[in-house]
Amino acid sequence: MERSTFESVYKKILPFWSEISTDDKDYICEHSVTLTYPKGTNIHAGNECSGVIFVITGSLRLYIMSEEGKDITLYRLHAGDMCMLSASCVLQTITFDVFLDAEEESECYVISGPAFSAVSERNPAVKIFALESAVSRFSDVMWVMQQILFMGIDKRLAIFLSDEVVRTGSDTIALTHEQIAKYMGSAREVVSRMLKYFSNEGIVEVSRKGVKILNKKQLRKLTL
């Protein structure tokens, strides 16, 4: 892979890029690889150091898991997003285990953890960027937790469906109940039951193609 290919992406995503030396830029690009993960691949598990991951195409799901294998989605990464929690050697104060899967075939650029770490030790701006990325994810995660711990499933499902409509620009959410449950950290049965309720209320129409939103106004009301 050409250095310029990596650089064109890093220049856009990494706010410190203009502040580091040409040597450090070279070092990062030399320690970058392009990886294409088939759908369903587990990219990162536990507290290994898988490096700093940039999503070029596709989508990744970051989650935590219990010993019994139950998992809760913390967030998903799409094109243009970066994952810092997968680089435990960069952020040594992160001591919890996260898992990262490719939800669909995903092309990623990956900077080696030790290489990124070395550059961050030489450049406070890089270290600050890495920490700020983690802290802003902290806020995302707290939001998920509050939804799970405090909110009713109706409100959570309504928020999920509304977000999907905004994200995909389509009124039909082409996901199975199983997939929706996984994203929400809930059970398929619970999601199916609530979708049936929504359907009875004329808010959605459930078919083999997915979930179609019929009454956006009503759905939005449920998210409040």
Q: Residues in the site for a copy of itself, rule: CB under 8 A?
A: 64, 66-68, 70, 72, 91, 93-96, 124-125, 127-128, 131-132, 134-136, 138-139, 141-143, 145-146, 148-151, 185
Kindly tell me which of 17 and 109 has the beta carbon lying closer to a copy of itself: 17
Token pair of 178, please? 């199983």
Quote the CA–CA distance of 2 and 133 in Å, as a whole number.
27
Long-range (24+ apart) CB contacts under 8 A made by 66-72 are 71/99, 71/182, 71/185, 72/144, 72/148, 72/185
Look at the block and give the residue holding tokens 């999601």.
191
- DSSP, collapsed to helix, strand or coil, labels residue 161 as helix
Count CB neighbours of 57 within 10 A.
Answer: 13
Q: How far is the CB of 212 from a copy of itself (least distance, A)?
A: 30
Identity of the amino acid at 211? V
Q: Could you tell me which residues are beta bridge partners of residue 203?
A: none
Q: Could you tell me which residues are beta bridge partners of residue 59?
A: 78
Return the DSSP state at 62. Answer: E
Radius of gyration of the chain (CA): 19
